[in-house]
Amino acid sequence: MAFKDILLTLTSYPDPTPTTVAENAVAIAAAFGAHLAAVACEVHVEVPGHFLSGAMANIPGMIAGEAEKSRNNAKAMLAAFDTAANKAGILHETQLEKCPTFAVPDLLVEHARLRDLTIVPVPDSYDQWYAEAVIFGSGRPTLILPEKPRARPFQLGTVAVAWDFSRAAARAISDAMPLLEKAGKVRIVTVVNEKKLDSRHSAEALAKNLARHGIDVVLDKVDADGRSIGEVLEDYTAAQQVDVLVMGAYGQPRWREFILGGATKSLLSKPPLPILFSH
């Protein structure tokens, strides 16, 4: 299935998503000829009642001030997105939601379940809870964009796929087919000497499968050499000037917390490049 309906999530609190993220998302939608919807939430901080009754501070006034800050951020981001989308000439829409802070992840997941692909910006400065929720709860592929500006604008020159013969990796390739078909070059990277790769088949068999879809690939093997998977993939993508990394996400929701696989946790906590996660 082609990516024809894409969602961009924007964060209004505590800090707004940078405008560069909206510009990159617009470029992605333009590359696929897709409709792009941007959703932002005006969040309201909920405080237990016994704090509200205290006389030490003007808690209700502070809460109202933070809500106003979130509302202004959300409106400004959606306006900037609208300007970028109009300039690029893509089909688009904006949605402004209202909800308490704790409900934002569930709201984004509901939106994401109705789209072909969801773009989630990830900041360096605080928790990546929203991204984790969408990856593991939406049932759809999620493209993580680092908020920190990169030297190169978003492009599909070289796309790399992390391949370890697992179910999650196979699902990621299936979900990423529209992206792989548009890439200038596709590299399949397998990390060896880090864990047992349980397969009687080689990566060449995967290359044959992709070739039937008109996708020629370069096969790479990288020795872990005592490094974690996250470190290996970060070094590899930098050395090969990879524009987008595709990988399966390992982990499961449990009591509203995520037990993440090593590579997932490492790369999601501070993504060095755009990463398409599939679970």
Structure tokens at 173: 């390739």
Can you list the positions of beta strands (E) in 53-203?
92-100, 117-122, 142-146, 158-162, 185-192
- Reply yes or no on whether the pLDDT at 53 is more than 60: no
Domain boundaries, the chain: 5-146, 158-278
pLDDT in tens, 164-201: 888 999 999 999 999 999 999 999 999 988 777 766 77
Q: Which residues pair with 158 in a beta bridge?
A: 185
Which is higher by pLDDT, 134 or 47?
Answer: 134
- Reply yes or no on whether the pLDDT at 211 is more than 50: yes
Q: How confident is the model at residue 258 (pLDDT cuts 50, 70, 90)?
A: very low
Q: Which residues pair with 9 in a beta bridge?
A: 39
- Reply yes or no on whether the pLDDT at 256 is more than 70: no
Alpha-carbon distances of 264 from 25, 77, 131, 143, 188, rounded to whole Å: 22, 28, 11, 13, 18
Task: Kindly report the average pLDDT of the chain as a whole number.
Answer: 87
Could you tell me the pTM of the whole model? Answer: 0.89
Q: Per CATH, is 5-146 categorized as 3.40.50.620?
A: yes
Alpha-carbon span 156 to 18, nearest angstrom: 22
pLDDT, position 82: 97
Above pLDDT 70, what percent of the chain? 87
Pairing mode, if any, of strands 117-122 and 142-146?
parallel
Is-same-fold flag (5-146; 158-278)? yes
- Quick one: average pLDDT of 190-214? 86
- Reply yes or no on whether the pLDDT at 138 is more than 90: yes
Q: Per CATH, is 158-278 categorized as 3.40.50.10860?
A: no
Nearest by Cα to 192 from 169, 215, 226, 160: 226
Alpha-carbon distances of 43 from 39, 53, 77, 103, 205, rounded to whole Å: 13, 22, 14, 9, 49
Which is higher by pLDDT, 40 or 55?
Answer: 40
pLDDT in tens, 70-79: 999 999 999 9
Which residue has tokens 């990277």?
A: 189
Which is higher by pLDDT, 155 or 262?
Answer: 155
